Structures are given as structure tokens and as C-alpha cells.
Structure 1
Amino acid sequence: MPHLQLALLLGMTVALGPLALDAYLPAFPRIADDLGTANADVGLTLSAYVATLGLAQLIGGPLSDRYGRQKILFSGLAIFAGSALMVSQAGSLTDMLVWRASQGVGGALCAVSVPALVRDHADGADSARLFGLIGLIMFIAPAAAPSIGTLLLTLRGWPTIFVMLAGYAALLAVLLHFALFNRLTPRQRDRTPVRTLVTNYLLVLKHPATMRFIALQALAFSTMLVFITNASFIYQEWFGLSSALFSMLFAANIGAMALFSLLNRRLLLHFESVILLRIYVFIQAAAVTALVVCAFADAAYWAVAACIVVATGCMGALVPNNMANALEFFPKLGGTASALLGASQFTVAGVISAGSAAMGGSSLVPIVLIMAACSSGCVLLAKGAPAAVRKAKEIAV
């Protein structure tokens, strides 16, 4: 299958995650009023989704290796859609937390399948470019999600947002069945004993270069998720901006991610992905450092937004390069390696973002300091990444 067609379908699948994360952000104040809770507490529903999105990948990845990408992916879509409908009926914060966690399980089975499918059909720089192309396509979802959420919130109320998510998952199942799996050459399934579903994780855990990239992605994603979790507070409460302006500023982040992704695809023709990865990590760290300065200086919202746009924009190039390097050394265990990466990414980020929601309910400073701590960890890991890759390749040979 041509890379463009594969990227289009997988990009639409990956878009399920950003839609579930971002579409209901403008509705936080309304949800808080309807459920009789604080805005910061509604942020816990995002953390609940992300945490289970991570943990469930530990099961979904090996199952995907053994039983096939299609079965696991379609099971995830069914769980995601059903849980979204239940969220739309939630009458309390507890109900919403439970069903958002369930929705995260479905999202996990979908999320773990996409990197595995990429690894099945590409490696090295080709893998990085394919991940970048998928990113370009799926950027439409997070760019449009807050605006879609605002529109549905205005027309029919916040439950309609989750009905829309269920409908998108159902549509995606139909498209993937007819346009992807009916035309995609299936990979040879893993026929080893079931106990290897656990022991395969040890192979990944013992690989120092892969674990470096897994840790790096967990911290980089945490930097972004801390912002996403607190975006409503930062823009709508701290700076008092309207839902419309909030949506525009959020879309600017996605636009920056798309620009970085386009630049990265061209640079990959001339430079190694691990070298570019290190550069993007350093740029992100510089932007977050500037954000900390702005927070302490009580800078205007546009200055804070500019720093955030650069910091989150780097993720458009950072993630595809990092994922390509993380999965490079496990061509036959793409699902397992992808699951460990996704589980670490979403679980660590979920815990850190939940902590940021609890600590940052009244001030911008704790939020940006948490982002800075995560970004600093990325710098330490990225600094020695090229040498780690060279050593791993020498050992493999």
C-alpha cells in the first residue's frame, strides 16, 4: 500500500486520541457547573483517560503481536465508542471518571496498533518519515477539536461532544475495514507460547537505547500534557479569555506542530533522525525556560502563548523521530515495544498532569515549573542519544 494512503488511514486513527483529549476542553466550565464540581476536578477526567490509555497498552501490544492488528484495533474502537456514549449520560463526576477510564482502555487498543502497523511496513528513516506524515494528517484533529467542541457546546451542550466521539469511532471502523485491512498484506503472527507475552517485555526493558527513547517520550509528552490539562485554567480563568480565543490559541499550537513536522520531513533527507531529535529537545527546553520567565514576570497572555506554541510545536518533529528510534531495534515485536512506549508515555504523563491540576489550581507558576522539570529530563536523555544509537547498532551487528 502506498505510504500516503497508509498514512491517511493511520492518521485518522491516531486522531481519535487528540479528539478525545481536546474536544471537550472548552466545555470544562460548563461540565463543572452541571456536575457541581470545580474546574480543576474536571481536569481529573482527562488524567483518568490518559492513565488508562497508557496502562491498557501493556496488554494490547502483545495481544496485537499474537492475534493480529485488526482484531485488537476493532475491539478498541468498540470499547471507545460505547464508553463515549456512557460519558454523555454521566450525572456525576464519579460516573464521568469511570467511563472516561473505560474509554481510555478502548483508546489504548487503538493507539498501540498504529505504531506497530508502521513498524510492520517501514524501518529507519522511512519509518520516521511515515510517522511524520501520519502526524501531519492527524494534526487536523487537535487543531479543529476545540472549535468543534465549542460549536457542539453552543448548539446542544457538552454531552453531544461525546456522542460525536462515538460516531467518529464507528465511522473509523468502517473505513479501516474496507480501505485498510482488506488491502493490507497481513504480517505473520507471533505463534510462540502465551508466556512470551510477558518475557518479550524483558527483551525491550533490557535494551538501553530503546529505554532511553521511551523515557524521553514519556517526559516530552508530560511537558505537553501538563499544558493541555491546565489549558482551560491558563487561558480561560487565569487570563480571562473567551472560549473562541481559547480555541484559536489552541489551534496555533497544532499549526506549529504541523510546521515542525514539515520541516522535519525535509531535514530527514539530509540528517539522522536521532541528531534532529536532540535539536528539537533543546529548542523545546529553551521555549519552556522562556515560559517560566514569563510566568514569574506576570507577562501578557500573548507572550505566554508564544512560548507554549513553540514548546508544543516541537512535538510535531520530536515524536516521529523518537518513535522511529525507539522501535528500530524490535522489528518482530513492534506491538510489544510500542505498548511499553505508549504505556510509559501516557501513565507517566497522566500522573504528572494530575499532580499539576492539583497544584496549579490558583497560579500559573507551579504549572510551568512542572513543565520545566519534565523538559530538563528530556535534555539529559537526548544529549547522549546519538552515541547510544551507534553503540546499539554496533552490538546488533
Structure 2
Amino acid sequence: MQPGLLRTALVLGLLSMVGPFAIDMYLPAMPAIAAGLGTTEGGVQATLTAYFLAFGVAQMVYGPWADQSGRKLPILTGIVVFFIGSVGAALAGSVEALVLWRAVQGLGGAAVMVVPRAVIRDLYTGPAATRMMAMIMLVISVSPMLAPLAGSLVLSLAGWRMVFWVLAGAAVLSVILTVTLQPETLPVARRRPVRLNFLLRGSRQLLSDPLFMGLTLVGGFGMASFFVFLASASFVYTGQYGLSPTGFSLAFAINAVGFFSASQAAGPLAVRLGMTRLILLGVGGFACFTMGLLVVTAMGGTALWVLILGLFLGNACLGTVIPTTMVLALEPHGEVAGLASSLGGTLQMLVGGVMIAVSAPFFDGTALPMVAVIAFCGAAALVLSLLTLRNLGAAPAQG
């Protein structure tokens, strides 16, 4: 990869880490937050749901805004909002206040998820875009491997509030990175003013496109399975299996490695197999492994290594699906890349947030409810992928 391309992947990846760090870094602290604020497991999970829902809705603002003003201003604005939310969360005196400030964090964090995807679409298409997306995911992969460990270290040294102060510091660094290293990628001639009729027409076009909607929801259920894992894993691993915050962080990192390692193979596999075939194979493997894990768990096979192995294999399959569905969904919509990216991201985050909210009453601190919801997401993604892609060819995409 050329130095300029490598720099782009590195910068976009580091910016995109802000949102995942806001999730992964505080996961080990969730039981401590519940105890410190005198709330329940469901109350703490609500802080995660609030982040996801705000994150999803805000993407509908940043995408069109990025099409009108260019990519840098929305990124900088989002990071500032994220900083404010981080400071508020660090000072929260109740779980209700924490839910509110986590929503503010989500409103800001959305910018550094949706706009970098539009930047990729500005520069690349096809397997080349998939390779760039995979490179960014390689940088992001540091988050689920290191962020929980960093969170557990901060938790042991200074308590859970310091986690949010560290996130505020990361926001400051992100502003510096954006100002100094990230060039504008949308020329003035290609910018579109934000007009309500344009947004309505573009949204209607996207919402009525079976390929866009199908691929978006396939990726959405895949991401939802990971969100459900995020919301419940700390309670399962520390409660049912008795792991310490550091032990949970290590187990979580193993589960995440499968996803991000496989994502690096998405670009070459898209060239070799074709993007359509790759999605079908990846979703099929994800559904098979998660439903198999559900059967084993329901029969009492809840040993920790079984749970970790099953999730590792399922997430490895999912790692080939997420970047490929993102690219293929945006491929025909270059003229509204920002809107398409934001709408797709909004729908996916809403699916994840709704799945957490709907399934939260069934979580009891054991593995079975968590695995059951993850397996449901796998089955839903498989059905949607078969319905969406059955009429498409599997020839390798060009790009």
C-alpha cells in the first residue's frame, strides 16, 4: 500500500477508534458502575442502549452535512460534542444522568463513524474500498483488545469515573489529529446543499432499494449480535464464571480477535470469491456457529472455553461480512454517499439498540440468554442475506 494510502487508513482508523473506545473501555467497569450508582444490570445496560440509539440517529445529520460542507467540519464538531459528553459522564451523580451523558457521547461519536466511511467512498470503490475498510478495521481492532484492559487498569487505579476522563483526553487528541493530518476529500464542485426535498428523495430512493436495505440489515443484525455481547458479557464473565475485570478483558479480547483478524481477509476474498458469495459464506458460517453454540449452551455445555470458542468462530465469519456489506450497499450510490452511509449506519445502530432493549428483561447474568439472542441475530442475518442476494451473481467485483 502506498504511503499516502497507509496514512489515510491509519488516520481514519484512529479517528474511528473513538466510538469503539467509548464502548469497550468502560465494559469492565459496568458492574462497578451498577454498585456505585445503586442501580441494576438493566440500568447500566440502558447507558449502552442510549449511546447506540443516539449514535444511530445522529448519523442522519452528519452524513448530509458532510455532503454539503465537506468531511472535516462534521468530524471536528462531532469530536467536540463527544468531549462534552465524556466530561458529563465523568461527573454523573445518578444512572439517569449517566444515561443522558452517554447519549451525548453517542451524538458526537457518530461523526467519526459515518464520515470516514464517506471519505473511503470519495477515494475508492469495489474490492479496493473493501481493502481500505479492512485496513481501518485493523487499526480499530486495537480497541476491543486493549480498551477493556486499559479500562480495567484505570478502574483498579482510579475508579470508573476516570474512564470517562481518559475518553475526554482521547477526544482532544482526535481534534489535533484531524486538524493536522486529515485532508479534505470532497471537492467543492461535488458538494450538495442540504435540501429537505433532496434528503427525502434520496432517503426514499435508498429505503426502496432492496439491495441497500437487505445488505444494511444483514450487517445490522451482525452488529447487533456484537452489541448484545457488549451489553451482557461483563456480567456473564464476572458473575457466572467469576472472572476479575482484567480476566474479563482478556476473554473479551479473544472473542474480538476472531472478528478483526478475519476482516483483514475480506478484501482479498472479495476479489477471489466475489462480494456476493463472500457475504453468503460468511453469514452462513456465523449463523451455524452461533446456533450450534446455543444448542450446546441449552444442553448445559456452558464451560467458559466452549463459550469463548463458539463466539470466536462466529465472529471470525462475521468479520468477512461487515466490511463487505458496507461497501456493496454503498456501491451504486456514489452520488449520495454521505446520505447512504448515514442512513445505513442509523438503521444498523437502531437494530442493535432495539435488540439490547428488547432482550434486556431476559438477561439474568448467565450465558444462555446472551447466546440465544446472538443466535437469533445470526439466523435473521442468514435469512435476509438469502432473500437479498439470491438473484445476484457471485463473480468477483472489479474496483
Report the TM-score when normalising by structure 2: 0.93
Partner Cα distance (1:239, 1:117) in 2? 43
Matched, 1:339 2:342: yes
| Residue type at the aligned position of 2:355 | I
Number of the residue aligned with 2:372: 369
Partner Cα distance (1:138, 1:364) in 2? 27
Partner Cα distance (2:318, 2:251) in 1? 16
Alpha-carbon offset, residue 70 of structure 1: 1.1
Stretches of structure 2 lacking an aligned partner (at least 5 in a row): 395-399
Alpha-carbon offset, residue 122 of structure 1: 0.6
| Residue type at the aligned position of 2:143 | A
- Say which of 164, 186, 210 aligns to 2:212: 210
Partner Cα distance (1:68, 1:211) in 2? 26
| Residue type at the aligned position of 2:277 | I
CA 170–198 in structure 1, closer or farther in 2 if over 3 Å, else same:
farther
Number of the residue aligned with 1:313: 316
Matched, 1:106 2:108: yes
Partner Cα distance (1:385, 1:128) in 2? 20
Alpha-carbon offset, residue 228 of structure 1: 1.1
Contact 1:294 1:304 in 2 (8 A): no
Partner Cα distance (1:52, 1:171) in 2? 23
Alpha-carbon offset, residue 36 of structure 1: 0.7
Number of the residue aligned with 2:129: 127
Partner Cα distance (2:116, 2:194) in 1? 22
1:55-110 alpha-carbon deviations (Å, 9 max, x no partner): 11122211111122111111100000111011000010000000001111101122
- Say which of 69, 77, 80 aligns to 1:78: 80
Secondary structure of 2:144's counterpart equals helix
CA 174–362 in structure 1, closer or farther in 2 if over 3 Å, else same:
closer
Number of the residue aligned with 1:356: 359
Q: How does 1:128-147 map to 2 (within 5 A)?
A: 128-147=130-149
Number of the residue aligned with 1:281: 283
Report the TM-score when normalising by structure 1: 0.94
Number of the residue aligned with 1:64: 66
CA 192–141 in structure 1, closer or farther in 2 if over 3 Å, else same:
closer
| Residue type at the aligned position of 1:105 | L
Partner Cα distance (1:112, 1:266) in 2? 24
Q: How does 1:116-195 map to 2 (within 5 A)?
A: 116-181=118-183, 184=185, 186=187, 188-191=190-193, 193-195=195-197
Number of the residue aligned with 1:394: none
Partner Cα distance (1:47, 1:233) in 2? 16
Partner Cα distance (2:195, 2:331) in 1? 24
1:316-368 alpha-carbon deviations (Å, 9 max, x no partner): 22111010101001111111101111101111111111222221125432222
| Residue type at the aligned position of 1:232 | S
| Residue type at the aligned position of 2:211 | A
Number of the residue aligned with 2:397: none
Share of identical aligned residues, percent?
31
Partner Cα distance (2:236, 2:314) in 1? 15
Secondary structure of 2:272's counterpart equals coil
Secondary structure of 1:294's counterpart equals helix
CA 13–315 in structure 1, closer or farther in 2 if over 3 Å, else same:
farther
| Residue type at the aligned position of 1:326 | A
Alpha-carbon offset, residue 387 of structure 1: 4.1
Deviates more, 1:166-175 or 1:291-300: 291-300
Deviates more, 1:242-251 or 1:358-367: 358-367
Partner Cα distance (2:365, 2:186) in 1? 53
Alpha-carbon offset, residue 245 of structure 1: 1.6
Number of the residue aligned with 1:88: 90
Secondary structure of 1:119's counterpart equals helix
- Say which of 369, 374, 380 aligns to 2:383: 380
Secondary structure of 2:335's counterpart equals coil
Partner Cα distance (2:42, 2:315) in 1? 21
| Residue type at the aligned position of 2:299 | A
| Residue type at the aligned position of 2:344 | L
Alpha-carbon offset, residue 246 of structure 1: 0.8
Contact 1:15 1:142 in 2 (8 A): no
| Residue type at the aligned position of 1:289 | M
| Residue type at the aligned position of 2:74 | I
Q: How does 1:28-47 map to 2 (within 5 A)?
A: 28-47=30-49
Partner Cα distance (1:103, 1:191) in 2? 27
| Residue type at the aligned position of 2:342 | A
Stretches of structure 1 lacking an aligned partner (at least 5 in a row): 392-397
Which ranges of 4 or more aligned residues in structure 1 deviate by more than 6 Å? Answer: none
Contact 2:239 2:366 in 1 (8 A): no
Alpha-carbon RMSD:
1.8
| Residue type at the aligned position of 1:201 | S
- Say which of 245, 250, 259 aligns to 2:247: 245
- Say which of 3, 6, 13 aligns to 2:5: 3
| Residue type at the aligned position of 2:138 | L
Contact 1:24 1:149 in 2 (8 A): yes
